[in-house]
A and B are shown apart, each in its own frame.
Chain A
Amino acid sequence: MTDEEKAAAALKTVATIPARPVHAGDWEDVLHRAARPDRSWPALALVAVAMLIAVAAGLGWQRYQAPTLSPSREAKVAVKDDGAVALSWGRLEVKSRTPARLVTPHVVSVTAVGRVAAEVDSHSTFVEVFEGSASVRTDSETIELHAGESRRWPNAPALPASLRVSEAVMPGACDERPKSEQAGCWLKESRGDGLSAQVALYRRGALAESLRRFPAGVLHPEIRLGLLRQWIERNQLEAALREAIDFEQACPDDPRLDVVRALRRTLESRGVH
């Protein structure tokens, strides 16, 4: 008998095996199942796939919409419960397609759309807009900044006219020299210990050195006012406040005392301390 014949014989034998009968009652089960609504697995699968796609699209959209934060190495950044980004120190660049809210110690909020940078130091917040715009709200005002604009908060108060000192009121021996020789001349003069040295230090802009060497010198009120003016111009308002307080204590009889006092109060009212 060949292999094919053996296989055919096996098949033939198995074909003669009678089938196990079914229970007539099983037909009722068939009818019962047929009456039930069919679970459409393809439809369920489609719904599941659609839901997955929707979730993925939602996450993608959220990510697309989410602001991109680029903090500097020393920046201290935290995200608050309401989604606002709190910057307490350093520089942070925000890139966002939707309004992103930023808070700093010096402003209530910066709402930025586009590319906006904020820089916080001990006494101020500097906001610079590269693209888009930023709406900066403080306790007293709301300012709109547009691309290319920048501003610092708190902004320095205008220096009163009486505190501006012109070089003309502080003439010195070196004024007569040619311009090219004046720097060397002031340096040489400042090495002395008299009034000419104080004038020379003032004209060189070495105000801190002058105050250190001549704390009660004839020119010390001018030197203090010069420092005050410098801090204001540099927007270093805490240092300006300290300088104003020093002036009030060191020069109680100076005729500009009231102006300095008013300036100090202005600084304090702007939150400088």
Chain B
Amino acid sequence: MALTVDAAAASQRAQANVRELYLRHAPELRQAIHRLAGGVLDADDLLQDVFVIAVRRADALSAAQSPTAWLYGVASKVVSGRLRTSRWRRWLGLEAAAEAVSGDSPQLSLEQREARRSVELGLSKLSGTRREVLVLFELQGLSGAEVAQALNIPVKTVWTRLFYARRDFAIALKEAGHD
């Protein structure tokens, strides 16, 4: 009986922990999801998917070195999985392509809007793995170690991918004629 009460209490604690993470990180995670998905998926829906996983795997989240990196890692996997199935669903005619709502605040300066348009175009030219590193490190502000944890890759690989991602991104912007 005591064990049951303890387990229930632990579960409630874990859920409260996830809720706290949700309130603190959900806006940035949704923004990251929108950027990772290239604006073609419903970021609100995917954000819910991420936190559904977090609630169900609250123990793993609590044990993570960086809960933030853990959540970004889940978001990255959810996005890549959904992009994969979405391609098939569109090919089969089961899903129509739709412009998703951005995760950014609507209060933007002209400079920010133009920069965002350039970045979205540059990101669309990158491979999935390079885009992930660039988004998490450059835009979401994760450290190299956190990106490595999120993507489950060595830190050195993060730097290598980041190097090529920056180069490809600059080339893409140049080719598109964005100054």
User: Which A residues contact B (CB, under 8 angstroms)?
Assistant: 3-4, 6-22, 24, 26-27, 29-31, 33-34, 38
CB distance from B83 to the nearest CB of A (A): 15
Q: Is the interface of A mostly helix, strand, loop or mixed?
A: helix
A10 engages B173 (CB within 8 Å): yes
Q: Does B156 interact with chain A (Cβ within 8 Å)? A: no
A17/B104 contact (C-beta < 8 A), A22-B47, A33-B52 known = yes
CB distance from A133 to the nearest CB of B (A): 53
A30 engages B52 (CB within 8 Å): yes
A14 engages B48 (CB within 8 Å): no
How far is A31 from B52 in the complex, measured between Cα atoms in Å? Answer: 7
Q: Which residues of A contact B60 (CB under 8 A)?
A: none
How far is A9 from B173 in the complex, measured between Cα atoms in Å? Answer: 12
Q: Which residues of B contact A16 (CB under 8 A)?
A: 112
Q: Which residues of B contact A13 (CB under 8 A)?
A: 111-112, 115-116
A-B pairs, 8 with minimum CB distance: A19-B27, A13-B115, A7-B170, A34-B55, A19-B31, A18-B105, A22-B26, A30-B51
| B: interface residue count bin | 35 or more
B48 engages A18 (CB within 8 Å): no
* 8 residue pairs bridging A and B, Cβ less than 8 Å apart: A6-B178, A7-B166, A10-B119, A13-B111, A14-B119, A20-B103, A27-B23, A34-B55
B105 engages A14 (CB within 8 Å): no
CB distance from A24 to the nearest CB of B (A): 7
Q: Which of B134, B140, B166 is close to A4, meaning CB atoms less than 8 Å apart?
A: B166
Best-buried of A4, A12, A19, A33 by chain B (most CB within 10 Å):
A19
Interface string of B151-164 (1 = CB under 8 A from A): 00000000000000
A11/B138 contact (C-beta < 8 A), A18-B104, A27-B19 known = yes
CB distance from A271 to the nearest CB of B (A): 63
Q: Does B102 interact with chain A (Cβ within 8 Å)? A: yes
Q: Which residues of A contact B174 (CB under 8 A)?
A: 3
A34 engages B104 (CB within 8 Å): no
User: Which B residues contact A (CB, under 8 angstroms)?
Assistant: 15, 19, 22-23, 26-28, 30-31, 44, 47-48, 51-52, 55-56, 102-108, 111-112, 115-116, 118-119, 122, 134, 138-141, 166-167, 169-171, 173-174, 178-179
How far is A6 from B172 in the complex, measured between Cα atoms in Å? Answer: 12
Q: Which residues of B contact A7 (CB under 8 A)?
A: 122, 166, 169-170, 173
Q: Which of B48, B103, B118 is close to A26, meaning CB atoms less than 8 Å apart?
A: B48
Best-buried of A3, A4, A12 by chain B (most CB within 10 Å):
A3
A20/B139 contact (C-beta < 8 A), A33-B48, A33-B52 known = no
Q: Which residues of A contact B122 (CB under 8 A)?
A: 7, 10
Q: Which residues of B contact A29 (CB under 8 A)?
A: 48
How far is A189 from B143 in the complex, measured between Cα atoms in Å? Answer: 126
B171 engages A3 (CB within 8 Å): yes
A30 engages B112 (CB within 8 Å): no
A15 engages B139 (CB within 8 Å): yes
A14 engages B169 (CB within 8 Å): no
Best-buried of A8, A12, A27 by chain B (most CB within 10 Å):
A27
A8 engages B55 (CB within 8 Å): no
Q: A3-B174, A20-B104, A20-B105 given; name 9 further pairs at CB < 8 Å.
A: A3-B173, A6-B173, A7-B122, A10-B119, A11-B119, A14-B116, A20-B27, A20-B30, A21-B27
Q: Which residues of A contact B51 (CB under 8 A)?
A: 27, 30, 34
A11/B48 contact (C-beta < 8 A), A19-B30, A20-B27, A21-B27 known = no
B52 engages A17 (CB within 8 Å): no
How far is A14 from B118 in the complex, measured between Cα atoms in Å? Answer: 9
How far is A215 from B91 in the complex, measured between Cα atoms in Å? Answer: 88
How far is A34 from B19 in the complex, measured between Cα atoms in Å? Answer: 13
